[in-house]
A and B are shown apart, each in its own frame.
Chain A
Amino acid sequence: MRAQEEQTYQGPLSVSGYHGDADYTYLLVDGDTVLNGPFRLRKANLDALLQKQDYSFDFKGNFRNNFPVGPWRFQFGTFQSNNESQVVDYQYRVAISGVQEEASGNMVNGKPDGTWQYSVNEIEDSEVSKSLFKSNISFENGVPQRNFRIENDSLTLAGRFLRNGLAHDEWSLFETTGIGAAESWFFNDGILREIRNDSNGRVEVIPIYTNDLEESKTINLDARYINAVAIWQSLERTSHPVVNGKMQRLLSENASYYKKIDGILSELGESAFLPEFKVKVPYYPFTETEQVQLDSIATNFFEAKKISDAYLENTQLSILKLSDSDAAYLFEVITKIDKDYLKPIAKFVAYKNEGVVEFLPKEKLIQHLWSNGKPDKQISVTVNLDSTMTERAFEIDNVADFNFVNNDVNVLKQITDYALHSLLKVESLLNKKLINQQRQQELIAIEEDLISKNKQLQQLIDSTNNTISNSQKNALQQLKQLADNKLSDYSSIDEIKTKLDRGQELTICYRTFLDLAKSISVLPEKWESIQKNYQDRIWNPFMATLMDEEVKKRITGSYRRVLVPYYLEQVNTELTCAEAKKLDLLIQSTYQRMLELRIENTSKLERKLRKATDPEVVLELFGLTTEKPRK
């Protein structure tokens, strides 16, 4: 390794979001940079400080083969200046205010070793005005040892560890001001035996893990552990909770500072800079079967919760239940399932997700979830409608298949399943009601639409009265009559579902009728446009002028004399919606075809048209029939 030449880098560097000027030595091993030797990364911007505020930092230490070793110091500052400067000993001095964070200690092989101090101070005019946070922890090869002390501006926690890092003896938490309650946690070889609360001289002792543990697990003293302790305590005693989270706040504050350092060191080299305070907890592992059941509980619970939430927040239902006694009854059932079944299960599922359920005695826990006894399979509710109270009970069909007797995971699963099944049944009952309700509303919308379209049709007829021929007028009137008939047929339907289906069909049909009416009403315009199109400017030698000559008169003639009357006549037959659609498309495609035929070579077609008076034949000659003509 020594054969590698040490190199020095001086320049900008960005580590874990800190951009600054670096100065370090390193080795190049197989193209990789291996830090080896002194390291420093810092930043302080005077301009920023004078203008607004400056975020400064300064990291200093040593690496050996990429592992941080020896003394290290980390400083983070957030400073403002009051813009007043003075010259002292040939230097400009600017007083600063803000917050200074500093961590220092020794490292061995990337792990903290010896005493590490982490302090956060408030600075005013370049002097420490207040301590915001301070922690002193001794490590040996990364494992916390002996005594530690963590304090912030209101709390102080002091305690000690065994050589293996397990919490031991008394950990005391007291308010820095010295007034108010002090809390002591007594550990024995990592096991929390009791918590003692000293409130103005009144001492309360809360036993925690008093019995010898059948099975235990060593875990970190973190939020999860404290949560487990809190639940355990609440299972044991129904009195007020003693674990108030103060200790957790302090520990996690400390952990977050350590994590910041760990982030920097881990990005630079290899290190594990975490204060791993160890504790032992009782451990109640799950069998494989139970594990499967746990998963099923979680899945089914979420499904059930989704259904109940959807209905409880359904505005349609909350309106319907005011007038419909069945809806009101089912709403009450959901409310009761939500309260008696889902809420306790939700608690359990939360414990599971937080990872504490395996540190709690199952039977006790399940019993505790329903401290007033398990819910009744027959869900009885009181329906209050128009000041009349009615008692009703709800039950699913295969109620006998469910057993709520014991306090094990299986029963918990059965309770969850029962809730889900009940909700599914309620859902099927309610959906019918809600769908009917929804249909009623849809019907109203559809009918409004139909009436508006019918009006539009009448308006179209009125507005075109002067511009179209009598036969076109008749066709439009016929179309209106057809629309009216269909509407009256529709209104005679009673059954909602059929009515809805028919209404939706009729909406489309009316759209078609409107389209067709428009197509008919613009026939004169189209004819004008066709006529204009079917003209050649030709030179008349006798007049010596240009004249418009009608061309391909057989084609325009067939259009005017055969096809248009045929289309109008079609309207007079009882058109179905599909036929109306087809006819409308045909009218439109005929116009398009006429424009095409103007350009095409049509001498053959014109010859054939001479004898063609049957519209079907003309359509075929025009190339407009896709299906065989009716006979």
Chain B
Amino acid sequence: MKGCSNNKLVLLALIFLCGFTAGAQDGGGEVLPTESKFKDPKTKVWFNTYGNIRISKRLFWDAQTHFRFEETEDTPFIGQIGQIYNRHAIGYIYSKKTNFSLGGVVRINFNTDESSTDRNVVPEWRIWHQYQFAQPLYTAMIYHRIRIEHRWTQGFEENSEYIFRNRWRYMFRAKVPLNSHKLAPKTLYVSPEVEVIMQSGKEVVGSVMEDLRMTTTLGYILTPRLTIAGGLMYTQGQTLANPGIFKQNWTMRFHVYFSPDFRKVRNKLPAIHLND
């Protein structure tokens, strides 16, 4: 309770906060620290595949599978599997610069706590929808992505209940071609991005900022239908249990983007011109 006992002003604020979190966490015993605590960063590696499969003039199937590893004591970054993550949606192409998606996620969470005796694997469910806007800016492109997720998670303990939360995500990203004047095949590009992930729900007391992600990625467009990228992401965010405690991650991310189109040639051709 050291955090709740400094000067009067801080004390008042913290009493309020401590009380709030104490109430919210059903008296879970977590007490706000007097100063934000930052956990030691964890190192992780994500292998992400992004599929965008065209199914009609306006619709596509968004299919993403991510393999997320994290460190063990012996092996940094890739020591153990953390999550396998399947995100699917049906997307609607409103225009070349605007598209929307609605779908579901099933994520397999692996228990990475080496000391835990609980279950090793639990599923997590989400319904998500996303609104993405692109804008050209000089030779680069910038993107705004709003993603809203309705998420049901459970702990690894036996018979643990699902808890429901909403996630509010906004991502800003740029893609700047390095060896060309536009994003075209055989172009190397750099992509800085920032995403803030807010959350809400009965269980969320104080820990509204789930994650703040800052990434720089280097990508290469192999063909119009295949791009690879890799980058390093730094994240921090409040732990659900205690909003005063921030987790931190350094994540290496590797992406493969593919967008096949199995439609017949004659159906493909008009799709080039959506509404111009």
Contact = CB atoms under 8 A, between A and B. Distances in A.
A542 B52 contact: yes
Interface in B81-130: 91, 93, 96-97, 99
A597 to B, nearest CB: 13
B134 interface: yes
23 contacts: A538-B224, A539-B271, A539-B272, A540-B225, A541-B60, A541-B93, A541-B99, A541-B259, A542-B227, A542-B257, A542-B259, A543-B134, A543-B221, A544-B96, A544-B134, A544-B143, A545-B183, A546-B272, A547-B183, A547-B184, A549-B223, A549-B225, A601-B265
Nearest to B175: A543
In the complex, the 8 A-B pairs of residues with the closest C-beta atoms, listed nearest first = A544-B134, A547-B224, A549-B224, A541-B52, A543-B183, A542-B257, A537-B272, A538-B224
Interface centre among B60, B175, B184, B224 (most CB of A within 10 A): B224
B181 interface: no
Contacts of A536: 268-269, 272
A114 to B, nearest CB: 104
B141 A544 contact: yes
A574 interface: no
A590 B88 CA distance: 46
B61 to A, nearest CB: 11
Given A548-B224, A549-B223, A549-B224, A543 B272 contact: no
A601 B266 CA distance: 10
Interface residues of B, number: 33
B135 to A, nearest CB: 9
Given A544-B141, A544-B143, A539 B274 contact: yes
A537 B273 CA distance: 9
B164 interface: no
A547 B226 CA distance: 12
Interface string A545-578: 1111110000000000000000000000000000
Nearest to A543: B183
Which of A544, A548, A549, A601 is most buried by chain B, counting CB atoms within 10 A of its CB? A544
Interface of A: 536-550, 601
B157 interface: no
B48 to A, nearest CB: 12
Given A536-B272, A543-B175, A548 B96 contact: no
Interface string B48-62: 001010100000100
Contacts of A539: 93, 96, 271-272, 274
Interface of B: 50, 52, 54, 60, 91, 93, 96-97, 99, 132, 134, 136, 141, 143, 175, 182-185, 221, 223-225, 227, 257, 259, 261, 265, 268-269, 271-272, 274
A411 to B, nearest CB: 93
A546 B271 CA distance: 11
A453 to B, nearest CB: 43
Nearest to A540: B224
Nearest to B143: A544
B141 A548 contact: no
A541 B261 CA distance: 11
A328 to B, nearest CB: 81
B178 to A, nearest CB: 14
B185 A542 contact: no
A543 B134 CA distance: 8
B185 A547 contact: yes
A607 to B, nearest CB: 15
A546 B52 CA distance: 15
A538 B60 CA distance: 14
Given A543-B175, A544-B141, A547-B184, A538 B221 contact: no
Nearest to A549: B224
Contacts of B223: 549-550
A544 B272 contact: no
B179 to A, nearest CB: 15
Given A544-B143, A548-B224, A538 B97 contact: no
B227 to A, nearest CB: 6
A617 B205 CA distance: 73
A547 B261 CA distance: 14
A537 B276 CA distance: 13
A518 B274 CA distance: 43
Contacts of B93: 539, 541
Contacts of A546: 96, 272
A549 to B, nearest CB: 4
A289 to B, nearest CB: 90
